[in-house]
């Protein structure tokens, strides 16, 4: 039987987690976690600082040699047990996630399943870290290539997918034999902290995963970077913060992987199947209330099908029920905080002020909580702010185009390059546009590209490195060459 969210939180470790133990922040400071559907506090979490950060990274450094020596099979079994525990507690995790982040329970349960899969995937990859042995071309040297854990890792996750972003980073680090210091987002730390407790239950040794939540990230992350102990940083968040972290990591030549901002184009060609295109647009736009880096930010529609697509999309968006994500029948939950609503309001008002027409929604929902209704805009001007800004809200902006060349030019007219979407029934067009679009990922006739078995990441200002797939674990290992002369 699923416990109430009050009982779940009461049993949760909400302090600083260092060397296998929960404790108060050194300063005694705390911060409140708020339910975005009501604006009310639901939990108090330790607000860590520099002293806590030092203790966490020192524990990771001490534990690294011993953890790296643990057999790959043993590390794999810990991840497998954690995967099973997550599925066993899926209802509790989903309820906790919905309460602190806002997404409807159905979506939260989907994230639990998706996030758990990273632990299963990397439990399987732990024993498959490959090497190489061969002779040099001149035959005089034996070349043996091995892979070793990169060392203590700094993991920083965002608020919008508090379980999946944690497992996507922790999974490969555990599989590769790396210790970790982990900073979950202070807006939604509780789900991530639940995962930490499950990993302890699954047998993760003390000191492998050390956690500091904080409202002052610089007081924690920068000391980690400059500690001389950390050897890698994995960050998911905004591009400006990513640039700053890259500059800091350069001081110690830390290995980095970054999944940063997006401005995804969603291209609907004139030959697209309308049922498929509208369904994919709903998935790409409304997943997580639009609060996703993969969200369709600019929906580019061939002029010949603009009216039909706009009408059908508006019908779907208008039919969605907005409300508390824990209530039956809710399709769209609240945005994560008041600032998020204010940003969406400003972007919509700016677009309307420049001539956009509102087909549905378009104004803030009255009452408590951080709600904004599903909104469709058409006739969006090219100089509108939402054309160059990641919306992170339930707003679909429709922009017409007249040719494939124009669509590609519009799609690529951004500093970002995380994901693009193409709707067409023509295979040659799908392949050609996929090749021309400047993005790390392309969804063809689908609005969902994320899969633990596939590499996730972008190009340009959307980041570097990849998470998941066969390449995901490579971000957490170093390559070593051993050269032996042939005698």
DSSP 287: G
Are 208 and 170 a contacting pair, CB within 8 Å?
A: no
By C-alpha distance, which of 162, 164, 74 is closest to 117?
164
d(CA 202, CA 87): 13
| DSSP H/E element including 153 | strand 153-156
Sheet (strand 153-156) strand order: 21-23, 16-18, 209-211, 180-183, 153-156, 232-236, 255-259, 463-464
d(CA 8, CA 97): 11
Are 131 and 474 a contacting pair, CB within 8 Å?
A: no
Q: Which of 111, 125, 259, 467 is catalytic?
A: 259
The partner residues of 256 in beta bridges, in order of sequence, read: 233
Could you tell me the two tokens for 116? 């758990």
Burial class, 372, CB count within 10 angstroms (exposed 0-12 / middle 13-18 / buried 19+): buried
For helices 217-225 and 50-68, what crossing angle results, to 10°? Answer: 40
Are 180 and 133 a contacting pair, CB within 8 Å?
A: no
The partner residues of 397 in beta bridges, in order of sequence, read: 377
d(CA 219, CA 48): 8
For helices 105-125 and 72-88, what crossing angle results, to 10°? Answer: 170
By C-alpha distance, which of 468, 443, 474, 440 is closest to 455?
468
d(CA 485, CA 396): 63
SS3 390: coil
Residues 6+ apart with CB under 8 A from 200: 20
* DSSP letter for each residue of 414-439: SSEESEEEEE-S-HHHHHHHHHHS-S
Could you tell me the two tokens for 268? 């609907």
| DSSP H/E element including 31 | strand 30-35
By C-alpha distance, which of 120, 126, 119, 161 is closest to 147?
126
Q: Is 259 a catalytic residue?
A: yes
Active site residues: 259
């Amino acid at each position: 039987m699923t416990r109430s969210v009050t009982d779940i939180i009461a049993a949760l470790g909400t302090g600083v987690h260092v060397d296998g133990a929960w404790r108060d922040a050194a300063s005694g400071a705390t911060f409140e976690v708020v339910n975005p559907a009501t604006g009310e506090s639901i939990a108090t979490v330790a607000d860590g600082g520099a002293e806590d950060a030092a203790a966490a990274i020192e524990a990771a450094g001490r534990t690294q040699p011993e953890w790296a020596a643990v057999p790959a099979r043993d590390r794999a079994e810990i991840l497998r047990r954690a995967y099973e525990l997550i599925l066993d507690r899926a209802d509790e995790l989903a309820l906790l996630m919905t309460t602190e982040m806002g997404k409807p329970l159905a979506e939260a349960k989907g994230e639990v399943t998706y996030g758990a899969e990273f632990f299963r995937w990397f439990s399987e990859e732990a024993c498959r870290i490959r090497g190489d042995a061969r002779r040099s071309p001149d035959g005089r040297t034996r070349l043996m290539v091995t892979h070793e854990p990169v060392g203590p890792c700094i993991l920083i996750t965002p608020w919008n997918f508090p379980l999946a972003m944690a497992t996507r980073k922790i999974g490969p680090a555990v599989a590769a034999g790396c210790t970790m210091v982990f900073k979950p987002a202070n807006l939604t730390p509780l789900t991530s902290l639940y995962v930490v407790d499950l990993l302890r239950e699954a047998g993760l040794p003390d000191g492998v995963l050390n956690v500091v939540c904080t409202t002052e990230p610089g007081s924690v992350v920068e000391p980690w970077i400059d500690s001389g102990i950390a050897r890698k940083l994995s960050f998911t968040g905004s591009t400006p913060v990513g640039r700053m972290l890259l500059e800091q990591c350069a001081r110690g030549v830390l290995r980095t992987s970054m999944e940063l901002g997006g401005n995804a184009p969603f291209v609907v060609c004139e030959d697209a199947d309308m049922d498929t295109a509208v369904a994919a647009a709903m998935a790409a736009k409304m997943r997580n209330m639009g609060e996703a880096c993969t969200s369709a930010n600019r929906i580019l529609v061939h002029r010949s099908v603009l009216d039909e697509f706009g009408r059908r999309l508006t019908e779907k968006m208008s039919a969605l029920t907005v409300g508390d994500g824990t209530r039956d029948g809710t399709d769209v939950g609240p945005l994560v905080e008041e600032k998020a609503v204010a940003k969406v309001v400003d972007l919509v008002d700016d677009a309307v002020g420049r001539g956009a027409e509102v087909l549905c929604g378009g104004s803030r929902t009255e009452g408590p909580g951080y709600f904004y209704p599903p909104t469709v805009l058409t006739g969006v001007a090219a100089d509108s702010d939402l054309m160059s800004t990641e919306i992170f809200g339930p707003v679909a902006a429709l922009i017409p185009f007249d040719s494939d060349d124009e669509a590609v030019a519009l799609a690529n007219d951004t500093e970002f390059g995380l994901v693009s979407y193409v709707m067409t029934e023509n295979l040659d067009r799908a392949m050609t546009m996929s090749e021309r679009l400047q993005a790390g990922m392309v969804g063809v006739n689908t609005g969902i590209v994320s899969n633990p078995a596939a590499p996730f990441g972008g190009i340009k200002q959307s980041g570097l490195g990849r998470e998941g797939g066969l390449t995901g674990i490579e971000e957490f290992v170093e390559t070593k060459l051993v050269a032996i002369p042939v005698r």
